[in-house]
Amino acid sequence: ICKPLYYTTIMSRPICHRLVAGSWVGGFFHSIIQIFITIPLPFCGPNIIDHYFCDLHPLFKLACTDTFVVGVIMFVNSGLFSVFSFLFLVSSYIVILYNLRNHSAEGRRKALSTCASHIMVVVLFFGPAIFLYLRPASTYTED
């Protein structure tokens, strides 16, 4: 975005393949960690989760064991992952906005109109995820 004429040189096919493979591998390891911390949990009582989607925090309430260590793993795996991803994306937008100061008013307007919607999506996605996964599991309410 900062160097549009160099885009095809910078974003070559091998780099695009590495980025796609990295996102797939990262998503796979993130998911497999959650599966491996959930499988050994002993479950008892009613198998009813009072939520509209099955997340790990409500699932931990059904476990018949102490889930503190699993909650810490979940905090590191999901909470810190969300924060670092959010900070990486925000820092990339800061670099883009910093580089826009050298462009014309029309170019700044076009880039800002595109970046504003992207930043909104990033905030709307990562804001609730960070709020959800960085809280201790003991502070969840029925709502």
Q: Determine how many CB atoms are found less than 10 A away from the CB of residue 71.
A: 17
pLDDT at 54: 67
CA-angle at 110, arms to 16 and 20, nearest 5°: 15
pLDDT of the residue at 52: 67
pLDDT-flagged residues of the chain (< 70)? 1, 52-54, 136-143
Give the pLDDT score at 20.
Answer: 96
* Partners of residue 63 on adjacent β-strands: 43
Number of other residues whose CB lies within 10 A of the CB of residue 84: 10
For residues 26, 128, 90, 20, the Cα torsion angle rounded to the nearest 10 degrees is 20
- What is the per-residue pLDDT for 43? 84
